[in-house]
Amino acid sequence: MAMTQRSAFDAKYWNLSQASAWVEFREQALVERFATADRDGYGGLLLYPSMWPTGRRRQGTVDELRRTLEEGRLTAWGYHVEAPDRLEEVPTAEWSDFVIRPPFAYLARDLAAKQQRWSDIRVLSADMKRLWRSETEVSGRSKYDWLVLREMYEGFRQTNPKMSKNELIVELQGAYEERFKKTSPSRSSIQNKIKTWL
């Protein structure tokens, strides 16, 4: 009996090109395409938007991926320059020093030099799919992805402990609209959900 080969979309880990493609476009085909992370592949995709298939549009940004790593809501692993034979967790605090240029993460302070502290960086595909849901999955369940809204709200609440609930809701609505490019839930809908989250 022949064994079926697992698709790159269902692999345990995704490289930074695959993760970036998922955050930006939510297209399985792009995740498959960037399974082999070559230096020019991702850049080529972004250079020619006029050649994109009908219906392709950006849904997020690579910096959103970096911020999620910096905030500790997503974990990455890679090989540190001082220990190139050992796969290690990339410390959350280091992401504030990086700029992601798929498939690499360069030190931001001297971007022109293209210095890397970590190589072969990867993230769990399950975490990526949980944090950035596909459009079909979200629209199939409800108008809003309440799991993502809850995670965003908790993040705002932890980083802004002096904000009132109303101020947090306003922040949440603005961040949701910026991230998903669509209208956020109403204040009363969010207030009702918050009661179930606490």
Maximum mean pLDDT: which of 9-13, 134-138, 184-188, 194-198: 9-13
Number of domains in the chain: 2
Report the C-alpha gap between 123 and 125 in whole angstroms.
6
Residue 27 in any domain: the answer is yes
Shared-domain flag, residues 144 and 116: no
**Segment holding 70, helix H or strand E:** helix 62-70
What pTM was estimated for this model as a whole? 0.67
Model confidence at 140, in pLDDT bands (50, 70, 90)?
very low
Strand 76-80 to 87-89 pairing: antiparallel
Domain of 148, in residue numbers:
135-197
Domain shared by 157 and 65, yes or no? no
Task: Give 1-9 contacts, CB < 8 A, sequence gap 24+.
Answer: 7/32, 8/32, 8/35, 9/125
Which residue type is seen at 197? W
- Hey, CA dihedral for 103, 109, 114, 118, is it positive or negative? negative
114 neighbors 103 (Cβ within 8 angstroms): no
- Per-residue pLDDT band at 141 (split at 50, 70, 90): very low
pLDDT band at 183 (very low <50, low <70, confident <90, very high): confident
Q: Give the bridge partners for 88, in sequence order.
A: 78
Report if residue 163 sits inside a domain: yes
| CA atoms of 34 and 163, how far apart (whole Å) | 41
